[in-house]
Structure 1
């Protein structure tokens, strides 16, 4: 898809019972004051009805989030991302899709 899905490996993925998890930019809640993962805005693209925000997330790497309208952030701002757990995609070590995320899966 476009924009592409964000992929996360390591401890966060293992907490969701996978080798890798994927989350689409539109399934990440973006906040300027609280959330699950925090990071620094590297690029903010205001495109009318959407704002695409590239965030260097602590311990994860660069992630792309899509917010509505003129989301008020700029390069260098601190933001927080929270994934919609029910929208996570799980993959094994061969890249094969696994079943949906189990209730209570941990993504912190």
Structure 2
């Protein structure tokens, strides 16, 4: 990526956060742990866990999502 994502919206929702990130005119929605703190407008780094990511096209159809029987769930502390 040539441009760093920037938080557009940061919502604290219980044990996690929902973050809307702007990147090169597109929006990505991410979920983070509750301990993560971001400031709207700051550059942030992003990495994707390919075993947990869900990608959708503009019509809302899944373009990448592992079948349920192939997903792993890590216990939360």
TM-score over 0.5 for the alignment?
Answer: yes
CA contact (8 A) 1:48 1:70 kept: no
Task: State yes or no: 1:81 paired with 2:46.
Answer: yes
Secondary structure of 1:78's aligned partner: coil
Deviation at 1:80, TM superposition (A): 1.8
User: Higher strand proportion, which one?
Assistant: 1
Aligned CA distance change for structure 1 residues 58 and 47 (closer, same or farther; 3 Å): same
Task: State yes or no: 1:56 paired with 2:22.
Answer: yes
Give TM-score scaled by structure 2 length: 0.56
Give TM-score scaled by structure 1 length: 0.42
Q: Distance in 1 between matches of 2:46 and 2:8?
A: 14
User: Higher helix proportion, which one?
Assistant: 1
Q: Structure 1: any 5+ residue segments left out of the alignment?
A: 1-36, 101-108
CA contact (8 A) 1:51 1:66 kept: yes
Relative contact order (alpha carbons < 8 A, sep ≥ 6): 1 or 2 greater?
1
Q: State the aligned residue count.
A: 59
Equivalent runs, 1:1-80 vs 2, <5 Å? 38-58=4-24, 61-80=26-45
RMSD after superposition: 3.0
